[in-house]
Amino acid sequence: MEFVLGVILIVICAVVLPQLPHIIHDEIKRFDIVTSQNSGGYGDFLNMSGKVPIKFSNYFFNISNLEAVLERGEMPHLTQMGPYTYRTVVWKPEAYVSWLPNGTVRYVEGQTFEFLRNESSGDESDRFFTVNISLIGVVKKAQSLYNNSIDNGLVWTILEELFGLGKLTPRDLFASIRVGDLLNNLTDPLLVKLNKLDPAVKSWIAIQPQRPDPRPEEFLTEAYTGGPRSSSIAAPPLEPMRYMSVTMWHRHQPLSFWATEYANMINGTDGTVYPPGLTPQHELYVFIASLYRSFRLVCTSDDVIVHDARVLRYRLDPLLLQSSEVYPPNAGFNIDHAGFLPTPPSLSLPYFFSQPFFLAANQSGINVKLPGPADPTIHETFIDIEPNTGVLFNVSKRVQVNIAIGETVLGGRVIPFTRGIAPAILPVAWFDQHMELPESLAQEVIHKVLDVDHSVRATLVVLGAGGALLVVIACASVYRKWLR
């Protein structure tokens, strides 16, 4: 009997040992994943920036040779200003959190920004010369009206009578903008008039819009937790790899901005959380609200070390930045040139996106002199994830805002204030939203994995040793009987 029991224990150990990573992941899912208000991580879910500081660093491009651009049509020469760094505070008001029977949670998210003067290379009152964003917004809307077959004469009447554009000169195409205004709330009489013409166009521009009092009527969002129907039970999600994937954003389910069903899909988390148990073979997705779309992430390295922990480094799938000729699904996003990400046409926004310093972008037609070359180490987006827990150890989301300038023709007539302006893609600013897990929290995560690992291994050692001992006892008993 002892022999049989001992063999059984040894076999159990041999079978369980290869499953050790899965056991660790299951234990983490049981206690750390948020599937109800009773889950261990619920407090962090409500107050995302409470323990981990999220920094938003902003850099601006100043046109240093504006007179030469205007008088001789020279290429704009740009200098970089910044960083202007802010601490981002993000939270979910518990009053608006609700758990649904289909395994999703609904919430709204507030955010505010606190300027960190001691971490910035300048003040919010600094000014820089760039394109007149409001004026470009009016031109963009005029082009939209004309393309939608509105009478050409009427469009020109709107431009000249409502906006007074007939009196403007090429110098008016550029403006001195205060850093703090563009970041928080840039208002302009032109934008106010444009908003009256089309309420869908905001009367202000803000790169980092403040939401101190978010309301469900506008900002309701939904994410999959996989929790059980009863929200009083804390349990692992039913579909772990879908954990915290956004299923509705600001009441859009799916999106309605783009031309194809593929482009309007909402895939992935918001980029702040991922499921435990990742391997380099897992493809992840992130929904980036500021770009109005989802992205696929691929693991490009499994040997990055952050705070003594081995993490998986994920980057944007480069296919998603290719032109639609190279990657046809990108036609839904109107990507005609590699590396440039348009904004939804229905929003009539005057700008479009790229990676900072036009990293990996088609260089033809840019026609500006940048302060330096693109550098992937400081301009590329990446996410470092501890694979056992899904905890983000180090993240940088980096994006650049650009505006196209040049002589613009509308209905066979050149818009006067664009006459003589050489065509260029002018970068206005780029941003780095960065989060790095503090050393103390990183060690907590590492120890959590080690504790589960050591606990399971210790149990297996005891069982294995006990099994071996029983086998030895049984063999000794047989041997003694044989001697007799």
Does position 368 have pLDDT exceeding 90, yes or no?
yes
pLDDT value for 48: 80
pLDDT at 233: 43
Contacts of residue 4, defined as CB under 8 A and 6 or more positions apart, other chains included, come to none
- Which of 18-32, 50-64, 194-208, 357-371 has the weakest average pLDDT? 18-32
Query: What's the confidence (pLDDT) of residue 479?
Result: 52
Residue 339's pLDDT is: 94
Q: Model confidence at 362, in pLDDT bands (50, 70, 90)?
A: very high
Preceding omega of 254 cis (within 30 degrees of 0): yes
Using one digit for the tens of pLDDT, what is the confidence trace for 11-54? 454 544 455 455 555 555 555 677 788 877 888 889 987 788 99
Is residue 329's pLDDT more than 60?
yes
Query: What is the 8-class DSSP label of residue 182?
Result: H
Domain ranges of the chain: 52-437
pLDDT greater than 80 at residue 164:
no
Provide, rounded to the nearest whole percent, the portion of the chain with pLDDT above 90: 47
- The average pLDDT across 341-366 equals 90
Asked whether the predicted pLDDT for residue 127 surpasses 90, the reply is yes
For the ranges 59-73, 145-159, 163-177, 320-334, the lowest mean pLDDT is seen at 145-159
Whether residue 308 is predicted with pLDDT greater than 80 in this model: the reply is yes
> Cα separation of 18 and 445, whole Å?
22
| Predicted pLDDT at 18 | 53
φ/ψ region of 383 (left if φ > 0, alpha if ψ in -120 to 50, else beta) reads beta
pLDDT at 314: 97
Task: Measure the CA–CA gap between 353 and 337, rounded to whole angstroms.
Answer: 12
pTM summary value: 0.85
Residue-wise burial string across 149-188, b where 16 or more C-beta atoms lie within 10 A, e elsewhere: eeeeeebbebbeeebebeebebeebbbebebbbbbbebeb
Q: What's the rounded Cα separation, in Å, for the pair 211 and 367?
A: 37
pLDDT surpasses 50 at 193: yes
Q: What pLDDT score was predicted for residue 415?
A: 83
Structural tokens at position 384: 């470092």
Instruction: Average the pLDDT over 342-370 and give the result.
Output: 91
pLDDT for the residue 6: 45
Does residue 146 register a pLDDT over 80?
no
Question: Which band of pLDDT confidence, cut at 50, 70 and 90, is reported for residue 94?
Answer: very high
In the three-class reduction of DSSP (H, G, I as helix; E, B as strand; rest coil), residue 299 is classed as strand
- Say how far apart CA 278 and CA 267 lie, in whole Å: 17
Confidence of residue 335 (pLDDT cuts 50, 70, 90): very high
Instruction: With a cut of 60, say whether residue 455 has pLDDT above it.
Output: no
Query: 87: closest CA among 55, 133, 39?
Result: 55
- Give the count of alpha carbons within 13 A of 54, CB side only: 18
- Stretch 450-458: mean pLDDT, rounded? 50
Query: What is the pLDDT at residue 136?
Result: 86
More confident residue, 165 or 130: 130
Distance (Å, whole) CA 211 – CA 438: 26
For residue 106, what pLDDT is reported? 94
Mean pLDDT score of the chain, rounded to an integer? Answer: 82
Q: How far is CA 254 from CA 247, 260, 292, 446, in A?
A: 8, 11, 11, 37
The pLDDT of residue 484: 55
Task: Give the residue, 67 or 414, on which the prediction is more confident.
Answer: 67
Q: pLDDT tens for residues 260-292? A: 999 999 999 999 889 888 999 999 999 999 899
Over the stretch 106-117, which tens digit does the pLDDT of each residue have?
999 999 999 999
Matching residue, tokens 């007149």: 132
Question: Which tokens hold the place of 100?
Answer: 């649904």
Q: Output phi, psi for 167, to 5 deg.
A: -90, -5
Per-residue model confidence as pLDDT tens digits over 409-440? 877 788 888 888 889 999 999 999 999 988 98
* Per-residue confidence band for 228, with pLDDT thresholds at 50, 70 and 90: low
pLDDT at 162: 65
As a whole-number percent, the residues of the chain with pLDDT over 70 amount to: 80
Residue 189 has pLDDT above 60, yes or no: yes
Q: Considering only residues 135 and 230, tell me which one the structure prediction assigns the higher pLDDT.
A: 135
Range with lowest mean pLDDT among 244-248, 326-330, 409-413: 409-413
φ, ψ dihedrals at 149, nearest 5°: 70, 20
Distances 6 to 1, 233, 473 between C-alpha atoms, Å:
9, 38, 9
> Degrees (nearest 5) of the Cα angle 347, 358, 188?
40
Per DSSP, what are the bridge partners of residue 221? 107
Of residues 189 and 9, the one with the higher pLDDT is 189
pLDDT reported for residue 462: 47
Asked whether the beta carbons of 380 and 355 are under 8 A apart, the reply is yes
> 157 versus 313: which is more confidently predicted?
313
> What is the average per-residue pLDDT within 295-317?
94
Say which residue, 107 or 193, is predicted with more confidence: 107
